[in-house]
Amino acid sequence: MSEFVRLEVADGIGTIRLERPPMNALNTQVQEELRAAAQAASGDEQVRAVVVYGGEKVFAAGADITEFTTVSYQEMVSRSAALSSAFDAVAKIPKPVVAAITGYALGGGCELALACDWRVVAEDAKLGQPEIKLGIIPGAGGTQRLARLVGPARAKDLIFSGRMVDSEEALRIGLADRVAPAAEVYATAVELVRAYTTGPALALRAAKQAIDGGLSVDLANGLALESHLFAALFATDDRVEGTTAFVEKRKPKFTGR
């Protein structure tokens, strides 16, 4: 049983819930429990979409800095790879994933949000990558995912300065996808992904793989990946149902197979 991270499943939506009061600091144990929850959500056929949620007060205020005060370079060489791969496990969940952000999403918390497909942000939330103020840089995907999301110039502004952005700025620069009152953030996130719980699961998986995979290769290889995934979907029941329903002018009933 996990102590700080749990996966709850209801109506096709899996909620990965962080529960390490008061600020959901992301220590090594939380990191590994997060990896386990992401892997469980990936493998559970009952989970068709995922919400990552830190609770009503805070998403995650970053790494547990007490772990950084005495760690050596040699120790961090091995630990940094494990930290990055734990967040990558969230990014690789082959289903639609949304972060429901209340309070703060700072440092590792912001990097966790960046690993999701979308971010629903509370009106009074603050996001940022303040690692520079500790004499370090983001180490769990922040320099890479943030730059891809908001562009290199804006990413450099946020990472070089370590400043926090509010929900209005986050929405304007593309760091947030929707803004809602804090009490409505989780419900808004659920509604954002609810439609995908009855969608063609294998096509959604392929679409996410094509988009994310294509971002890391050149156009020619991205197009080749897309063609391969496109052709593979012609072996699915949902392709038969979707095309038949279109011809018959009715709503398709996808099974995820």
Question: Which active-site residues does the annotation give?
Answer: 63, 108, 111, 131
DSSP for the chain, written as a single string: --SSEEEEEETTEEEEEE--TTTT-B-HHHHHHHHHHHHHHHH-TT--EEEEE--SS-SB--B-GGGTSS--HHHHHHHHHHHHHHHHHHHT-SS-EEEEE-SEEETHHHHHHHTSSEEEEETT-EEE-GGGGGT----SSHHHHHHHHH-HHHHHHHHHH--EEEHHHHHHHTS-SEEE-GGGHHHHHHHHHHGGGGS-HHHHHHHHHHHHHHTTS-HHHHHHHHHHHHHHGGGSHHHHHHHHHHHTTS-------
